[in-house]
Structure 1
């Protein structure tokens, strides 16, 4: 899996090979990155950053080198990078956790999430021309009224994060994404899966693995097995509010 990025006036300090594009203020970074990739305007990858004030909304086009059925595991690399970026700036005593497969939880509340897009109509056994991983975090809930009315979600400004974090956090995400794909290339996907699963709270004694198709397999001490599907959850992320296009509050 390779991360590449198309050009634009540089504003962020990104790893080598990265550049950026900004969307219109209320545009969706994921949709814009998918549009650019599908139209060929973003050859082999673009980092797209939305300028919404209430959200940190970033997407990266990826160049997969394997069939779609297994390439979807790029989602886990993106989630690890997103969690690591949040962890850099958050209070160290509060861990970043996941709810399967793409919800990012901080201090017991939903802070954001990640999702993966791929070309419409691509067969499972075909190598997709592109993938898009996008991450979204709630920066502020000031415009939504009393935060006590939405206790299931939280915002960066409520949790002791610093101010003016948009650019530094996106820069950190890009660095961690590059590093995570390097780990995948050098040590295999198992290392990436282990980093992801370390953020997934499990009952005592439960063992978790991520299969080749991206589904999770949970095994209880009594031998009971549960499978958590990936594709269906990526097609309709449960952390995302389809009415607002943002994170569910």
Structure 2
């Protein structure tokens, strides 16, 4: 069975296509124990992009969670390469993807249930979902602060969903490799720099200098010498509620 995706590096496999309505993250989680790193599940759809990849981190779970930021940055890079240069692509803490001020999707993360923060997980799954088009009959203004890529300049004829999905996967692997690379051009600092460059300044940040904690992925706000830490785990729990 054809995967339906353009050619990808051999690090990816097996590649599992899902029908419309499938859940790529859940499918990748199901396959992770058996197939391991590089397993990629993706949804064939004309209305959305959805994909997930299995990773096998060497870091403890807490320090591996920033893979979520790599997944978000990879989608932003893929969209930026294919879409209109003048349309801003930003993040809302921790992993909402916004295009031209409207939310189009999010990055997602899953790990083995019960894994302690200081234990190295057997696997980690990162994924993304992004809206290509609104449902038929959708009225403008019905969903406040929501957007769809097709309405913002990403045309179906020039940029098929499969191409965007494959581009995300390639950018993800490049970003993860950069994270593992020592020196000034790599490492966690580079991952944080790329993510923070797109992170929207919200009122509760109040002009603070922002950073990411490499040991946990927490957002660190420094204001006049006073530091405040926003745990990534709490933010993910709130967004899932």
| TM-score interval, normalised by the smaller of the two chains | 0.7 to 0.9
**How far apart in 2 are the matches of 1:69 and 1:144?**
43
Shift of 1:69: 1.3
Shift of 1:205: 5.0
Partner residue of 1:148? 141
Deviations 1:169-204 (A, max 9, x none): 111111111111121111211111110000012378
**How far apart in 2 are the matches of 1:45 and 1:171?**
13
User: Are the structure 2 counterparts of residues 32 and 170 from structure 1 closer, same or farther at C-alpha, using a change threshold of 3 Å?
Assistant: same
Partner residue of 2:93? 100
Partner residue of 1:246? none
Deviations 1:75-99 (A, max 9, x none): 1111111111111122111221100
> In the TM superposition, what are the counterparts of 1:47-196 in structure 2 within 5 Å?
47-143=40-136, 145-163=138-156, 164-186=159-181, 187-196=186-195
Q: Report whether the alignment pairs 1:18 with 2:12.
A: yes
**What is the DSSP-based 3-state SS (H/G/I as helix, E as strand, rest coil) of the residue aligned with 1:148?**
coil
What is the RMSD of the two structures over their aligned residues, measured on CA atoms?
Answer: 1.9
Shift of 1:54: 2.3
Query: What's the TM-score, normalizing by structure 2?
Result: 0.88
Gaps of 5+ in 1: 1-7, 243-249
User: Are the structure 2 counterparts of residues 170 and 35 from structure 1 closer, same or farther at C-alpha, using a change threshold of 3 Å?
Assistant: same
Larger mean CA deviation between 51-60 and 226-235 belongs to 226-235
Q: For the Cα contact (< 8 Å) 2:32–2:54, is it kept in 1?
A: yes
Gaps of 5+ in 2: none
**What is the DSSP-based 3-state SS (H/G/I as helix, E as strand, rest coil) of the residue aligned with 2:141?**
helix
Partner residue of 1:218? 221
User: Are the structure 2 counterparts of residues 142 and 226 from structure 1 closer, same or farther at C-alpha, using a change threshold of 3 Å?
Assistant: same
**How far apart in 2 are the matches of 1:204 and 1:22?**
43
Shift of 1:236: 4.8
Larger mean CA deviation between 144-153 and 84-93 belongs to 144-153
